[in-house]
């Protein structure tokens, strides 16, 4: 597949990087709009798209660290969510998104 024909998606507060074809027009979030209505996007389904896998990995890591920082700032109420987040994303945070693995893609 060509680099021009794909992008990399990173969901908000997630560490996984998903490769998506730019000509994949399937939608799992079809929404019908009515005239003169207000619609806001749900935060749990928000994602960012990047044209470069290395940049997507760097941003996934930065987003995860920012989210971890927010959980730490919550103090005691955020401890359980922080522990669960660390367990859920252990491989990405400690192996897949490390600087050395990201730089291996450059070679």
Whether the predicted pLDDT of 101 surpasses 50: yes
First to last CA, the chain: 18
Which of 18, 13, 16 has its CA nearest to residue 81? 13
Domain boundaries, given as residue ranges, for the chain: 3-104
pTM: 0.73
pLDDT above 70 (res 97): yes
Confidence band of 89 (pLDDT split at 50, 70, 90) = very high
pLDDT tens digits for range 9-65: 898 889 999 888 877 656 555 455 555 665 555 566 788 889 899 999 999 999 999
Give, in order, the Cα–Cα distances in Å from 44 to each of 10, 41, 66: 12, 9, 16
Query: What was the pLDDT predicted at 1?
Result: 43
- The whole-number pLDDT of residue 34 equals 57
Q: What angle do CA 72, 77, 78 make, to 5 degrees?
A: 35
């Amino acid at each position: 597949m060509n680099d021009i024909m794909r992008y990399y998606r990173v969901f908000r507060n997630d560490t996984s990087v998903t490769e998506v074809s730019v000509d994949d027009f399937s939608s799992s979030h079809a929404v019908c709009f009515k005239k003169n209505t207000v619609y806001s996007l749900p935060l749990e389904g928000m994602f960012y798209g990047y044209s470069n896998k290395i940049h997507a990995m760097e941003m996934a890591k930065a987003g995860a660290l920012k989210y971890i920082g927010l959980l730490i700032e919550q103090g005691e109420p955020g401890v359980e969510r922080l522990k669960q987040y660390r367990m859920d994303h252990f491989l990405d945070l400690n192996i897949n998104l490390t600087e050395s693995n990201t730089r291996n893609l450059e070679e």
